[in-house]
């Protein structure tokens, strides 16, 4: 059965981006309509692909009809379908927020955003490490354009640092894939999984070096300590809707780590089995600790959310580093939660900054501003979610991770760190909320003189992400069952390998 819909999440935004750039760059209304229509279509398509993948089958699409491992192959399984859905939900919310004025502050916003979606979707679907590199570069180009949207010295400076770091990571990526290709003769993920166990002892050092270089590259993308330094400044200075979309960028690094080290360097990898585990766990712990201390020390709401994203990556990768099916299922739940919560909080930070003339999102008391009650409620829900308190999904996510770590040899360290850093997050967000809303309510001067009349879609966009976060709680049973099945599929890579290498040039 030919399933051309697998390639559509890449083709659709690529075509729409080109159409917008070539024919709609001077008509913002048309560009908005095309971009929103594309995002909604991607959301509907992602829902269909999740439904398709939920039967447990792994489906492939061989571009040009060339069989793997020689041709480019796209692979749809439970994990890739889940990441497509998460990206589409975030994209719709970001566009709802951006069309109320942010997209007019610079040029080519909608074309760049569509190219960004193309890169994200391609990274999640590709079954080949060289094409993963290509999609990473598409992401880098589009994300720099979005990062600099609207201009400003701080924004451009942060964007330059972001590009320099990621270009260095790209060079390392090429070295890594070169080493792996020299040892195994392939870059196809499934074929690599077949050949890694048979690598001769004399070539094990090269194999391990290539795999660890890839881990280093993915750690840069995921902002793991000590390679995290680009994230707080980049996210805090990015335009609000761009920062909200960037919430999923770090998850690309986490996705790549999960894919590589369960498929090619998992249990069946012989001497190279679970190669990443001893390196990933301590780095993830330090990332969590540093991120939550950053939340406590931040002086702006945007910076606070940026450090919370950093800390959430530490929590996520602690679960991944356990490399067990229950822990990976918990990690995927936390991945969904943290992406939605961070996206919502970045939008809330902008709602605050736009309403506090002369003060922005600085955590100081200022005259009360328009819609402070509604914005404060959104902040409260987002802060509760990010800190991991009930009734939002962060509480369930952390509980699942703690439960999955019960049998780990270092469980006392994991439990102590996660509980203590949750307290730091609570204190940090409570301090920020107190300055922005409670102290400002009694600050002399009354309501801010600037009464904003921005359309309700800005509030709706933030509310949509928080509603999606709450849906993870309401539908926790079905969601965790899907994630349990996803983790089980990842730890049984034979199905993936058979689907890719048995495709014989067809699309099934």
Supply the DSSP symbol for 41. H
Say if residue 358's pLDDT is above 90: no
What are the sequence ranges of the domains in the chain? Answer: 1-271, 276-474
Q: Specify the pLDDT at position 448.
A: 46
For 226-248, what is each residue's pLDDT tens digit?
988 889 988 988 888 999 999 99
pTM above 0.85, yes or no: yes
Query: What does the pLDDT average to over 10-35?
Result: 93
Q: Specify the pLDDT at position 457.
A: 85
Distance CA 374, CA 379 (A): 9
Q: Specify the pLDDT at position 435.
A: 86
Distance CA 51, CA 56 (A): 10
**Residue 482 in tokens:** 């899907």
What's CA 204's distance to the chain center, in Å? 32
Mode of pairing for the β-strands spanning 73-76 and 59-62 = antiparallel
Residue 425 in contact with residue 295, Cβ under 8 Å?
A: yes
Residue 232's nearest CA partner among 302, 132, 164, 319 is 302
Residue 359: band (very low, low, confident or very high) from pLDDT cuts 50, 70, 90: confident
Which SS3 state, helix, strand or coil, does residue 227 take?
Answer: coil
For 488-506, what is each residue's pLDDT tens digit?
999 999 999 999 988 544 4
């Amino acid at each position: 059965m030919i399933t051309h819909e697998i390639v559509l999440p890449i083709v659709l935004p690529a075509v729409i981006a080109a159409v917008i750039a070539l024919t709609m760059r001077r008509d913002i209304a048309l560009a908005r309509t095309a971009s929103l229509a594309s995002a909604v279509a991607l959301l509907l398509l992602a829902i269909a692909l999740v439904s398709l993948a939920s039967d447990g089958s792994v489906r492939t699409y061989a571009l040009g009809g060339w069989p793997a491992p020689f041709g480019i192959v796209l692979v749809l399984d439970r994990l890739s379908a889940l990441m497509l859905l998460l990206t589409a939900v975030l994209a719709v919310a970001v566009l709802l927020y951006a069309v109320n004025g942010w997209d007019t502050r610079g040029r080519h916003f909608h074309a760049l955003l569509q190219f960004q979606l193309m890169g994200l979707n391609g990274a999640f679907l590709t079954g080949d490490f060289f094409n993963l590199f290509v999609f990473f570069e598409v992401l880098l180009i589009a994300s720099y354009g979005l990062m600099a949207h609207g201009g400003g010295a701080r924004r451009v400076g942060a964007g330059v640092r972001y590009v320099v770091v990621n270009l260095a990571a790209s060079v390392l990526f090429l070295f890594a894939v070169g080493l792996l290709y020299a040892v195994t003769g392939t870059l196809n993920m499934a074929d690599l999984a077949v050949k890694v166990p048979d690598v001769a002892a004399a070539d094990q050092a090269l194999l391990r070096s290539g795999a660890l270089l890839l881990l280093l590259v993915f750690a840069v993308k995921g902002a793991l300590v000590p390679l995290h330094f680009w994230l707080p400044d980049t996210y805090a200075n990015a335009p609000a809707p761009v920062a909200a979309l960037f919430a999923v960028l770090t998850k690309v690094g986490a996705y790549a780590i999960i894919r590589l080290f369960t498929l090619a360097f998992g249990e069946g990898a012989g001497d190279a089995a679970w190669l990443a585990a001893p390196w990933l766990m301590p780095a993830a712990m330090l990332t969590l600790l540093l991120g939550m201390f950053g939340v406590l020390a931040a002086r702006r709401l945007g910076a606070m959310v940026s450090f919370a994203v950093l800390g959430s990556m530490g929590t996520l990768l602690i679960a991944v580093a356990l490399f067990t099916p229950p822990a990976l299922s918990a990690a995927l739940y936390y991945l969904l939660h943290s992406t939605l919560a961070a996206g919502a909080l970045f939008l809330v930070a902008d709602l605050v900054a736009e309403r506090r003339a002369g003060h922005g999102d600085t955590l100081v008391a200022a005259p009360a501003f328009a819609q402070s009650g509604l914005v404060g409620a959104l902040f409260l829900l987002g802060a509760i979610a990010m800190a991991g308190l009930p009734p939002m999904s962060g509480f369930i996510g952390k509980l699942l991770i703690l439960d999955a770590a019960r049998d780990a040899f270092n469980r006392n360290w994991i439990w102590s760190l996660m509980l203590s850093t949750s307290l730091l997050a609570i204190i940090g967000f409570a301090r920020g909320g107190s300055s922005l809303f409670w102290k400002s309510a009694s600050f002399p001067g009354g309501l801010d003189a600037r009464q904003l009349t921005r359309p309700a879609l800005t509030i709706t966009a933030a509310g949509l992400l928080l509603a999606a976060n709450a849906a993870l709680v309401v539908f926790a049973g079905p969601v965790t069952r899907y994630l349990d099945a996803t983790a089980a599929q990842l730890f049984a890579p034979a199905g993936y390998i058979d689907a890719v290498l048995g495709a014989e040039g067809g699309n099934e």
